[in-house]
Structure 1
Amino acid sequence: TAALGGKKRVLSGELIKRLRKRFAPGGLLFYGQGKWYPGEQIPRWALACYWRKDKEPIWEDEQWIADESKDYGHSSSDAKHFATALAGALGADPKWMMSAYEDVFHYLLRERRLPSNGDPLESNLKDPYERARLTRLFSQGLGEVVGFVLPLKREGTGASARWRSGPWFLREERLYLIPGDSPMGYRLPLDSLPWVTEAEYPYIIPADPTQTWGDLPPREPIMQVARSRSQAAAAAHDSERFPATQSSRAWVGETVTALHESEIPPTAQQSAKDVIRTAICFEPREGRLHIFLPPLEGTEEFLDLIACLEQTAAALNIPIILEGSPPPYDPRIQVLKVTPDPGVIEVNLQPAASWDELVENTTTLYEEAHLTRLTTEKFMVDGRHTGTGGGNHIILGGETPSDSALLRRPDLLRSMLTYWNH
């Protein structure tokens, strides 16, 4: 009955894969975080499936989506290889990739505070999370690489848009993660990056939800651009291996001797406005490679990054799990989510444009839930039928905020509530 108890994660993963096949064959499976309630150490997980309304695929081949129940044997070397290849597909310089480590000093101090007659691997701690955390860390070794971080940002729009990486100027020689149990992307030491004034901070500004939305670009041109960048990166790599064949070395058209503003260390009290403050992370966990996505401003750059990730996964034969920052709000994208709640698995279906579509969506959900060994009924110990405990929420609105009848005519909301209550 607990929110995170039993086999909820396994059953939810199976359910959302079934729903993807029914609702969105070209959809993207995303393993993110959901609600965070008082008394819980970390936010609850949230499984999501995103797809385009124009039927263009976001993720084509399901075999490159890793199975959470399978150990592929992925290691830190696989993560580094994948990160380097992805940088080439994006046209970013992989030399700024950094290894990430657990904070050795924090955990050594934590070990010193354990009871003198206790074993760090079998610590008699009351907190099960702390016990599992110390066991995991001391078993794998504090000096081992947790994963890799590639600072990443997309600049420009349209045909002039390009991905760029750059250095992180940290006080420590190594990148030490903030202690915790969350994926490494949530534990980056962003406060240690060089200071920048509030006026020059590169905030990610979400799109205006009331704006006019054009058509999204087709997937094939996005893939063609990614392939051309990979070929350019391979050519640049060959020129570095054989420098005598060319008069100058280049990385995707940019001379390596030319320094970008973000590559120049800021001086004391200088606002470091050009430092890239978002990053993509590559972390092997339990034999599976997890990719932590950075926050992005627009859907177009999100689709570009996802296309490059799938291309890299196929080229290296490495299925991956995507987590981190979800795509930005966009009415051209549909989403359904599966999340945990006490006593139930909560499914938030995509909006329906008609009553018939709502009935079809609900019927499909019940069918797939039954095949996943889940049901929408609940019985007491004596066999009496009772409510499941779920909210059974109904959300009303328009396809976009500007189309919402409740925003255009707020008096309709009062009329509707009065009708339902009487």
Structure 2
Amino acid sequence: MEEAASRAEARLKAAGISLTLGGEPTFVPVEPEGLEWSVAADGPTKLPIARAMAAAIQRRTWPGSTLLYCSGKRYEGEVNPRWALRLVTRLDGRPIAPWPQHPGEGEALSAEAGEAWLEQLGEALGIQLNPQRFRDGDDPERAVWATPLTWEDGQWRSHRWDLPAEERRLTGAQGPAGLRLPLEHFPAEIPRQLLTLEIGSGGFGAEGWGIFLPPLERGPTEALLTAISGIPRCPLSGSPLNTPDFSGLLPVDASEGWDVLGLTADPGVLEINLPVCESWSAYRDWIVLLADAAAEAGLRSWKQTPGGGEEGTGGGNHLLWGGRDLQDHPFFPRPAWLVGILRYFQHHPSLSYLFSGSGVGPASQAPRPDEALGDLFDLELAYSVLEAHSGEQRQLIGETLRHLHADRSGNNHRSEISLDKFWNPGAPAGCLGLIEFRALESLPRPDWMAAIALLWTHLAALLLDPERRPAQLRNWGRELHDRLLLPSQLWADLEAVLADLAGAGLPLDADPYREIWAWRFPLLLSWEGEATARLELRLALEPWPLICDTPREGGFTSRFVDGSLRRFEVVASAALRQAYRLVLNGRPLPLDTPGPLAVRYRASRLYPCFHAGIAPTMPLVLQLLPATGNQPIAQWQLPADGQAFEPMAPEPLASPQAPPWQPHPDRPCSVDLRLPLSPPLPIP
């Protein structure tokens, strides 16, 4: 992989392109408890586990780095903003300030020493601080001081905030004291920049003592952290102090001098936001490190299904492309290259579905643009306009594509290839120059996730050549959700992608992708007879429809689908089709139909759901019979909660003359067990 990465990156470099990688892998506990690991973004167990994960990362790669608790995004339907832990260090890996190398070393600052410590901090900054004591109604034993602290004209200043004692009370919201100050009483003429010291058990996952940093630029923040670390002992007892729990906001210019790793609360998972990676090998190293740190913290990048199988976390493993410098961004001056990449992905459904999670299709978290729009005209028109432009086009690219790469509700974050962070000046963090590939799921092996990133880097290099780019979009029609969701067809499509790369001198070993494919589409049944008679059944993909009822626990950020439908692909060799018959639930399967064959069935009926009047078609009983005769040679059953067809004693056919199952004319690859015998329901 290292050699292959060097080959692709050399082509990008020769074209004057420095393409950075980012990632958002997600993790869940080995034994999850609570709604925060299913539908809710936060809950009592998530922040302590995130802190444990951050500590494990610090020990492995960034000893002495600074951990900052930040207030994250606030979503409709959620009472409080989500939290986000930020682990920060300098770009060269050196700590911002010299904290103890081992977290927890030393003791916490005592409440009796709080004011004395603030006095020492003022001396270190060359000013006199003006702290005021606040009361916490939720924790009367907690000691809290707040002092205005600003950086003006190259020096520190501390203004006075004369607040009556009866108004010096923290609000009842969750989080650190710095977010709970009664700022409605703060003087309008003074910058709203305050340092808050709190001592006692933390209401935001911290223990001991904590400091809320004033919102400053990177330089003054570094100086403040250095001053704090320069007070290593308690002013009263002289005992060594441990590192306080920091909270606040990242400086707006943090990316200019800091590497930042984020740990954020997302529905059902803990999401990790990787630092900017200058190369594939740097990305691979982070993915491997995170797997080790997660194991130490009791987390993993996959979860167990109710029947004992394995699947991704459900939170994704999004991959991001961008550039370290917005003034030398790889895509801003190359709109035709970007369009070539987007068209190529649209031509190859394996890139949309093979590495994604169980939820695919229009109602998923990452629908393809052609799934969401339902019509290629506007997409093709937009791509053609961009293709005709050259030079610096960041604004045109952002304004053109962010309206088209979106789901059916207009959410441009829910898209297979999202550009909501590319160039949108009207949105927070909307101008980062990022392209986010969201149809990727966390996998149980870090080398698999690294292999996907390697494939993406190779595709970027391949499509530098205009001759390799598709001339226009392809109208897949009903094939997209019928034939092209079957394992055999997705693998054939990925083989075509690998062949394109090999033909361009960018070969990749197919083995890791074949392993991912086999894990992604588990084998339900394998049977071999005489000669070359072979039968394989593999779980296939099935789009799940969105349902309207939204449970309160998930707020408005978790969307709920009817996941009762399942589909498996039937792969029968020519010898088996000639010598045998397959009967499913008493009716023959049409093995003589051209092309691949799949079976769609209803595994359960949970409310609310689509088609509440249609019962589940479980268990499934499959019988293998000779071409002539009615005595089964073998018989299997798939129970309602089963992960595979289980062998059972063969029984005579219940009805030898039962009519065969028939694919629907508009879905020629799939037999749907929910449909009546005849005629098929018309689909306009």
| TM-score using structure 2 length | 0.41
Kept in 2, the 8 Å contact 1:47–1:339? The answer is yes
The 5 A counterparts of 1:41-80 are 41-62=79-100, 66=104, 74-80=109-115
Distance in 2 between residues matched to 1:6 and 1:188, nearest whole Å: 23
Distance in 2 between residues matched to 1:372 and 1:145, nearest whole Å: 29
CA 1:399–1:339 in structure 2 vs 1: closer, same or farther (change >3 Å)? same
| TM-score using structure 1 length | 0.64
Find 1:285's aligned residue among 196, 200, 205: 200
Kept in 1, the 8 Å contact 2:87–2:260? The answer is yes
Q: Tell me how far 1:388 sits from its aligned partner.
A: 1.2
Aligned equivalent of 1:101: 135
Kept in 2, the 8 Å contact 1:80–1:282? The answer is no
Distance in 2 between residues matched to 1:343 and 1:415, nearest whole Å: 35
Kept in 1, the 8 Å contact 2:134–2:170? The answer is yes
Measured against aligned partners, the alpha-carbon deviations of 1:284-324 in whole angstroms (never above 9, x if no partner) come to 1315111000100x211111001011112446533211002
Aligned equivalent of 1:147: 144
Aligned equivalent of 1:175: 168
CA 1:276–1:345 in structure 2 vs 1: closer, same or farther (change >3 Å)? closer
Distance in 2 between residues matched to 1:342 and 1:90, nearest whole Å: 42
Measured against aligned partners, the alpha-carbon deviations of 1:315-373 in whole angstroms (never above 9, x if no partner) come to 65332110022233332211001122222211111111111221122112112222322
Measured against aligned partners, the alpha-carbon deviations of 1:73-107 in whole angstroms (never above 9, x if no partner) come to 7553233232222111111213x2111124xxxxx
CA 1:357–1:398 in structure 2 vs 1: closer, same or farther (change >3 Å)? same
Measured against aligned partners, the alpha-carbon deviations of 1:146-177 in whole angstroms (never above 9, x if no partner) come to 41011111122xxxx32111212446675333
Measured against aligned partners, the alpha-carbon deviations of 1:377-422 in whole angstroms (never above 9, x if no partner) come to 2121111222211121111111121122122323333222222232
Please say if 1:163 is aligned against 2:127.
Answer: no
What amino acid does structure 2 have at the position aligned with 1:280? L
Q: Tell me how far 1:39 sits from its aligned partner.
A: 2.8
Superposition CA RMSD, Å: 2.6
Measured against aligned partners, the alpha-carbon deviations of 1:252-306 in whole angstroms (never above 9, x if no partner) come to xxxxxxxxxxxxxxxxxxxx4xx3431100011315111000100x211111001
Distance in 2 between residues matched to 1:66 and 1:86, nearest whole Å: 21
Distance in 2 between residues matched to 1:52 and 1:168, nearest whole Å: 34
Is the helix fraction higher in 1 or 2?
A: 1
Kept in 1, the 8 Å contact 2:67–2:88? The answer is yes
CA 1:10–1:101 in structure 2 vs 1: closer, same or farther (change >3 Å)? closer
The 5 A counterparts of 1:131-280 are 137=138, 140-141=139-140, 146-156=143-153, 161-170=154-163, 175-195=168-188, 272=189, 275-280=190-195
Distance in 2 between residues matched to 1:276 and 1:66, nearest whole Å: 34
Which runs of 5 or more residues in structure 1 are unaligned?
A: 103-135, 196-271
Please say if 1:300 is aligned against 2:219.
Answer: yes
What amino acid does structure 2 have at the position aligned with 1:97? P
CA 1:187–1:76 in structure 2 vs 1: closer, same or farther (change >3 Å)? same
Distance in 1 between residues matched to 2:101 and 2:116, nearest whole Å: 19
Aligned equivalent of 1:232: none
Secondary structure of 2:291 counterpart: helix
CA 1:22–1:408 in structure 2 vs 1: closer, same or farther (change >3 Å)? farther
What amino acid does structure 2 have at the position aligned with 1:406? F
Distance in 1 between residues matched to 2:187 and 2:83, nearest whole Å: 32
CA 1:98–1:171 in structure 2 vs 1: closer, same or farther (change >3 Å)? closer
Measured against aligned partners, the alpha-carbon deviations of 1:100-129 in whole angstroms (never above 9, x if no partner) come to 124xxxxxxxxxxxxxxxxxxxxxxxxxxx
Larger of the two Rg values belongs to structure: 2
Which runs of 5 or more residues in structure 2 are unaligned?
A: 1-36, 202-206, 348-684
Find 2:247's aligned residue among 305, 323, 344: 323
CA 1:57–1:183 in structure 2 vs 1: closer, same or farther (change >3 Å)? closer
Kept in 2, the 8 Å contact 1:48–1:337? The answer is yes
Kept in 2, the 8 Å contact 1:99–1:145? The answer is no
What amino acid does structure 2 have at the position aligned with 1:82? W
CA 1:15–1:178 in structure 2 vs 1: closer, same or farther (change >3 Å)? closer
CA 1:336–1:55 in structure 2 vs 1: closer, same or farther (change >3 Å)? closer
CA 1:355–1:63 in structure 2 vs 1: closer, same or farther (change >3 Å)? closer
What percentage of residue pairs aligned between the two structures are identical?
31
Q: Whose RCO is larger (CA < 8 A, sep 6+)? A: 1
Kept in 1, the 8 Å contact 2:97–2:222? The answer is no
Secondary structure of 1:147 counterpart: strand
Secondary structure of 1:10 counterpart: helix
Distance in 2 between residues matched to 1:21 and 1:284, nearest whole Å: 26
Secondary structure of 1:312 counterpart: coil
Distance in 2 between residues matched to 1:387 and 1:419, nearest whole Å: 26
Kept in 2, the 8 Å contact 1:397–1:404? The answer is yes
What amino acid does structure 1 have at the position aligned with 2:117? F
